Amino acid sequence: MVHSSSKTIFLCNNCGNEFSKWHGQCPACNEWGTLSEFSPPKSRRKSHGQPARETQLLNTLLEKKDRQRILSNIKEVDRVLGGGFLLGSMILLGGQPGIGKSTLALQIIAGLGQDVLYVSAEESEQQLALRAERLGVKSERFHVSGENEILNILEQVSVVQPKFVVIDSIQTVYNEDLDSLPGSVSQLRDCGQQLLKACKQKGFTVIVIGHVTKEGIIAGPKMLEHMVDTVLYLEGDDRYDHRILRSAKNRFGATNEVGIFHMTSSGLEEVSNPSELFLAERTTNAAGTAIFPSMEGTRPILVEVQALVSKANFGIPQRNVNGIDSRRLSMLLAVLEKRLGQVMGLNDVFVNLVGGLKIQDPAADLSIISAVASSNRDNIVSENTVLIGEVGLTGEVRSVSRIDQRLQEAAALGFTHAVIPKGNMKNSKKPKGLNIHGVGTVQEAFKYLF
Coil, helix or strand at residue 11 = strand
Stretch that binds ligand ATP, among 83-91, 259-267, 290-298, 343-351 (CB under 6 A): 259-267
CB 153 within 8 A of CB 176: no
Q: Binding partner of residue 263 among ligand ATP, Mg ion, none, CB under 5 to 8 Å per kind?
A: ligand ATP
Among 13, 14, 89, 102, which residue interacts with Mg ion (rule: CB under 5 A)?
A: 102
Among 13, 14, 34, 103, binds ligand ATP (CB under 6 A): 103
Which is nearest to 85 in space by CA: 243, 182, 196, 205? 205
Q: Is 101 an interacting residue with respect to ligand ATP (CB under 6 A)?
A: yes
Question: Residue from 263, 331, 412, 413 that binds ligand ATP (CB under 6 A)?
Answer: 263
**Bond before 428 cis per omega within 30 degrees:** no
Select the residue interacting with ligand ATP from 24, 51, 97, 414 (CB under 6 A). Answer: 97
304 SS3 class = strand
Complex with ligand ATP: residue 121 or 420, whichever CB lies closer: 121
Please give the order of strands across the beta sheet that includes 267-270: 142-145, 116-120, 164-168, 205-211, 90-95, 230-236, 242-250, 258-264, 267-270
Q: Shortest gap between Cβ of 334 and Mg ion (angstroms)?
A: 44
Minimum CB–partner distance for residue 242 and ligand ATP (Å):
11
Q: Compute the least distance from the CB of residue 264 to ligand ATP, in Å.
A: 6
Q: What is the Cα–Cα distance from 307 to 347, expressed in whole angstroms?
A: 12
Strand partners, 236: 243
b/e map of 213-250 (b: 16 or more CB within 10 Å)?
Answer: eeeeebbbbebbbebbbbbbbbbbeeeeebbbbbbeeb
Minimum Å gap between C-beta 224 and ligand ATP is 17
Q: Which does 136 bind (CB under 5 to 8 A by kind): Mg ion, ligand ATP, none?
A: none
Q: Does 51 bind ligand ATP (CB under 6 A)?
A: no
250 touches ligand ATP by CB under 6 A: no
The whole-angstrom separation of Cα 410 and Cα 387 is 10
Report which residue's Cβ sits closest to Mg ion: 102
| Least distance CB 149 / Mg ion (angstroms) | 19
Binding of Mg ion by 120 (CB under 5 A): no
**Cβ–Cβ < 8 Å for 301, 357:** yes
Do residues 337 and 410 make contact, with C-beta atoms less than 8 angstroms apart? no
Contacts with ligand ATP by CB under 6 A lie at 95, 97-103, 122, 263-265
Residues in contact with Mg ion by CB under 5 A are 102
